[in-house]
Amino acid sequence: MHSEKSGDRVDYGIILSVMLLALIGMVAIYLAVQHDTSSTVGTPGHAMMMQAVWYVIGGIGIFFVMRFDGEQLWRIAPALYSLGLVLLFVVLFGYDRTVAYKTGAKSWFSLGSFTFQPSEVMKPAYILMLGRVVTNHNAECPHTTGNDWRLIGTMLLWTAPVILLLQAQNDFGTSLVFLAIFAGVLLVSGVTWKIIAPIAVAAAGVGTTAIMLVTQTWGRHLLEHIGFKAYQFSRIDAWLNPSASTSDTSFQLWQSMKAIGSGQLSGRGFGGIKVTVPVRESDMIFSVIGEAFGFIGCAVVILLYFLLIYQMIRVVFDTKNEFYAYVATGVIMMILFHVFENIGMNIGLLPLTGIPLPFISQGGSFLLANMLSVGMVLSMRYHYTTYMFSREDEGFASR
C-alpha cells in the first residue's frame, strides 16, 4: 500500500469537474463584460485573463492544501479560525469605502485595484474548526439528548462570533452561507432527529413569518427595529413581485429572468446576447449562460455541479474518516448553498442575496476560497492509504 504512486491517489474526477466549470466561467465572464458597457472590471479580455490568473493561483493553492494530511489540518484549524476572526474584525475599520458605497457591505480590503474579502478566507477555516469541534465532542461523549444539546451549544459558540462580525459588516448573504455549513455539519454529526426536526420546523417558521411581516406596514416597522435594512426589504419585494416595482433590484431580477427565458432551448450563441443585466459578471452570471447557451447550457452546468458533489460524497465513503467526513460535508454544503441560492435568485425562485456561483462568477477571493476547500477534499483521497495503515495505531483514523 505504501508503494502506491501519489498520482494514483489524486481524484482526477473532481479536478476535471472544476476545470470544466472554470472554462465555462471564463467564457461567461468574457461574454458578460463584452455586452455590459457599465462594467468596472475592464475589457472582456482583461476580465477573462484576471480570472485565469486567479484559477492558476487557486490551482497552486489546491496542490499546497492537498499535501496537508488530516493531522496537519487538524492541528492548524484553531490558528486558521483565529486568523479569520482577526481579519473579519480588522476589515470593520479598514474596509474600502468605495466598494462599501456600491455594495452596502463593509467586507473588502483594497490595495490599488486589488480587492480582498476576508470572509472568504474564513469559510475553509470555519469548516476545519467545526469538523474538529464535532469530532472531539463525539470522541468524548456518547450521543444522549443532553450531550446532543451540548454539542449544538458548542457549535453555536464557535459560529456566533463569525455571524456577529458579518452582521457588523452588513453582509447578510455570507452569513447565510455559514449557517448552511453549520446546518450541514449538524445533520451528519449524529444529533438525534428528535432535536433536529423541531429546530428545522422552527427555522422554517421564522423565515416564513419574516416574509409575511414584510408584506405588512406594521411588520416592516417591527423588522426595522430588529435590524432589517431597506435594501433587504427591496430584495424581498422584487422577489415577491418583480414586475410591480421600479427599484434597481426589481430591474436586475426582471432582466435576469428575461435573459434566461430568451435563450430558450439552445441559446442565442456567442454573438446573440442583447439583454442588459446589472452585475452580470458576478452575481448574475447564470443569466449569461442561460441567454447564450439556453436550457441545454444551464442543464450542463447543473450536471457538472451534481457530478462534483457526488464525487466529493464518494470520497468520504471511501476514506471512512470522521474528521474528514465533517470537513467534506462543510465544503459540500458551502458549494451546494451557493449553487442553489445563485441559480434560484437568477430565475426568480429566491430573493437576491449577492451570492456568486462557485468556480464561474468573477471574483478572486471567492474563487480562491472554493479552490482551497476543494483542496481539503482532495487531501482525503491523497492521504487515506497512509491513515488506514501507518497512522491507525495513533488513533487519528478513529477520531
pTM to 2 decimals? 0.90
Tell me how far apart the alpha carbons of residues 126 and 43 are, in angstroms, rounded to a whole number: 36
What pLDDT was estimated at residue 37?
59
CB-based contacts of 115: which residues, under 8 Å, 6+ apart? 96, 99, 108, 109, 364, 365
Tell me how far apart the alpha carbons of residues 325 and 319 are, in angstroms, rounded to a whole number: 9
Tell me how far apart the alpha carbons of residues 369 and 125 are, in angstroms, rounded to a whole number: 10
CB-based contacts of 95: which residues, under 8 Å, 6+ apart? 106, 107, 108, 109, 169
Instruction: Tell me the pLDDT tens digit for each residue of 309-322.
Output: 999 999 888 877 88
Q: Report yes or no: 28 and 48 within 8 Å, Cβ to Cβ.
A: no
Instruction: Share the mean pLDDT of the chain.
Output: 86
Segment among 239-248, 307-316, 330-339, 363-372 with least mean pLDDT: 239-248
pLDDT at 385 over 60: no
Instruction: Taking residues 82-96, report their average pLDDT.
Output: 91
Cα-Cα end-to-end distance for the chain: 22
Instruction: Taking residues 364-374, report their average pLDDT.
Output: 93
Instruction: Tell me the pLDDT tens digit for each residue of 240-280.
Output: 777 766 567 778 888 899 999 999 999 898 887 888 888 88
Q: Please report which confidence band the pLDDT of residue 398 belongs to, taking 50, 70 and 90 as the band edges.
A: very low
Handedness of CA 16, 22, 25, 27 (dihedral sign): negative
Instruction: Tell me the pLDDT tens digit for each residue of 2-59.
Output: 445 555 678 889 999 999 999 999 999 999 988 775 566 668 888 888 899 999 999 9
- In terms of residues, how long is the chain? 399
Among candidate residues 23, 31, 17, 22, the one with its CA nearest the CA of residue 287: 31
Q: Report yes or no: 338 and 358 within 8 Å, Cβ to Cβ.
A: yes
pLDDT greater at residue 175 or residue 9: 175
Cα distances (Å, whole numbers) of residue 144 to 53, 91, 137, 329: 50, 41, 12, 23
Give the range with max mean pLDDT: 75-89, 309-323, 385-399. 75-89
Helices 118-140, 70-94: crossing angle, 10 deg rounding: 140
CB-based contacts of 212: which residues, under 8 Å, 6+ apart? 219
Tell me how far apart the alpha carbons of residues 361 and 285 are, in angstroms, rounded to a whole number: 6
The percentage of residues in the chain with a pLDDT greater than 90, rounded to a whole number, is 52
